[in-house]
Structure 1
Amino acid sequence: MLTNTGYSPMRIQSIQTPFGFDKAQLRFATTTITCGLRKPLRTRRRTDGVLSTEAIQAVQSLKLAAKNPSKLHQVFNSKLNRLLKDDLLDAFAELQRQQHLDLALKVFEFIRNEAWYEPDHSLYGDLMLMFGKKKLIDKVENLFFDLIEEGLKPDTRAYTELIGAYLKVDMIDKAMETYESMKASGCIPDELTLTIMIRNLESAGRDDLAAVVKNDCVEYLDSPKKFLKEVARRYPKRLRLNLV
């Protein structure tokens, strides 16, 4: 779990009302809708294109100590404490690329306590994407709420990663609630958001909900008919052009 999650009751009320759930309820996982539309995460690289020796050594040491809490603590004190900002961020990204997500989350907690740290949508978005792919819904939800608690307003990507995670485990009602909350907040769904929604809703046999999202394309996209034709071309087995 992430640190610094002490939400005040007033702030939780403002966050939860649009979604219709509370944190005690945010522990779900079921089965089987795919939404792998995003490209693989790219590791941050230094300007010379190579991770520094210090960053590589830190990643290797973390992996070796992963199953031993006392050794892991030593690695944080002896290795990570000495890393420069860029090297620490590189190590964080490399752990994600290698799918060591629990270690990446611990490094992120460490980063959040650094003097130079400022809340960053992209750091949260990368983790939400990776945990969503693993169907770890509670992790994605916690990251979404922590993002808000750190003073960031959820952006299009944060909402999209949460929606995609719900669809990944067939939590269609939650995905739709989040989608409606996204629109109500003034955050604009982009083509990726709409594609994920349409593709997965139709794959789940929910043509009624897919039609709602398709109609939204008129409001949110400059060329909705062109967009829907392209989506139908890319996913011809399930999608139909049905723009009112």
Structure 2
Amino acid sequence: MAIRCLMRKWETCRKASIFLTSNTTPLTIIRDNISSALSLRHIVASSVFEYKNVCVGFREYHDGRPRGPLWRGKKLIGKEALYVISGLKRFKDDEDKLPKFIKTHVLRLLKMDLIAVLTELERQQEVSLALMVFKVMQKQDWYKPDIFLYKDLIIALARAKRMDDVLEMWESMKKEDLFPDSQTYTEVIRGFLSSGSPADAMNIYEDMKNSPDPPEELPFRILLKGLLPHPLLRNKVKQDFEEIFPDSSIYDPPQEIFGAR
């Protein structure tokens, strides 16, 4: 629309110029046409300026935030929390600098920043640092037992095959009268079975049966599959499964694979 308007005004001025060159025109008409030409020049200049602002303005403006997936992944973490995460990873193998960094930077974080640091370390599978931050968190005045904090940390430890630390956190959770959910039981049982500790897996199974929440099928099936080399333990779990879930079925492999790894 703007270009069409400019073309119309330009055509008017061109016709006026032709009329002036081919006819004898009074002085007032000449003055009016000159004024029109000057006005057109002003309109063209201002229109070009506005067009440049529209086209270039978006590229020139930048609000300082990173673009793309990097920002979307970190936009919920404060600058201090990000600094602490990078510092912990930098000094994690330095026995002298790491305690000083925790004392000077980790302990000064606010509650939400400290939780964000813990969550991000778990996501990055820095489980040793996550466990250290969790223990720091437990000493804070605002700390209250939270099953979800335990759940995420225990699952991260189990997936990293840190089963000794899992047992430590498990006992700490029980002392605080917290009960895990089915996903936590499943991951811990799977972790002990894959680490070659069926006895510890059975201990977690007994805790699950005594939990106030009703059990679910998945941890039973994980345990039944992992106990194939241990038929006596598997038969016990199978009997419990059939009593709790009478409408569900269990696949029993051929007898010759029992006892074989």
- When normalised by structure 2's length, the TM-score is 0.59
Match of 2:39 in 1: none
Change (3 A) 1:48 1:102: closer
Instruction: Point out the more displaced range, 57-66 or 212-221.
Output: 212-221
Match of 1:217 in 2: 241
Deviation for aligned residue 1:196? 1.5
Match of 1:118 in 2: 144
Q: Which has the larger radius of gyration?
A: 2
Instruction: Point out the more displaced range, 155-164 or 68-77.
Output: 155-164
Deviation for aligned residue 1:156? 4.2
Structure 2 unaligned residues grouped into runs of 5+: 1-71, 256-261
One-letter identity of the residue aligned with 1:82? R
**Per-residue CA shift, 1:179-198, capped at 9, x if unaligned?**
13431455533233123212
Which structure is richer in relative contact order (CA contacts within 8 A, separation 6 or more)?
1
Match of 1:196 among 204, 218, 222: 222
SS at match of 1:50: coil
SS at match of 2:171: helix
Q: Which has the higher helix share?
A: 2
Residues 125 and 161, structure 1, Cα contact 8 Å, conserved in 2: no
Supply the distance in 1 between the matched residues of 2:74 and 2:244 (Cα, whole angstroms).
Answer: 40
Supply the distance in 1 between the matched residues of 2:217 and 2:75 (Cα, whole angstroms).
Answer: 31
| Matched-pair identity in % | 33
**Per-residue CA shift, 1:120-144, capped at 9, x if unaligned?**
1222222222222233222111111
Deviation for aligned residue 1:60? 0.2
Residues 144 and 154, structure 1, Cα contact 8 Å, conserved in 2: no
Change (3 A) 1:151 1:173: closer
Structure 1 unaligned residues grouped into runs of 5+: 1-45, 239-244
Deviation for aligned residue 1:158? 4.8
Supply the distance in 1 between the matched residues of 2:192 and 2:186 (Cα, whole angstroms).
Answer: 10
The answer on 1:82 being equivalent to 2:104 is no
RMSD over aligned CA atoms reads 3.2
Residues 188 and 220, structure 1, Cα contact 8 Å, conserved in 2: no
Match of 2:84 in 1: 58
Instruction: Point out the more displaced range, 77-86 or 95-104.
Output: 77-86
**Per-residue CA shift, 1:91-147, capped at 9, x if unaligned?**
111111212111111100111112221111222222222222233222111111111
Matches within 5 A, 1:62-211: 62-153=88-179, 155-202=181-228, 205-211=229-235
**Per-residue CA shift, 1:157-193, capped at 9, x if unaligned?**
5544443332122222332243134314555332331
- When normalised by structure 1's length, the TM-score is 0.63
**Per-residue CA shift, 1:70-104, capped at 9, x if unaligned?**
32223223322332222211111111121211111
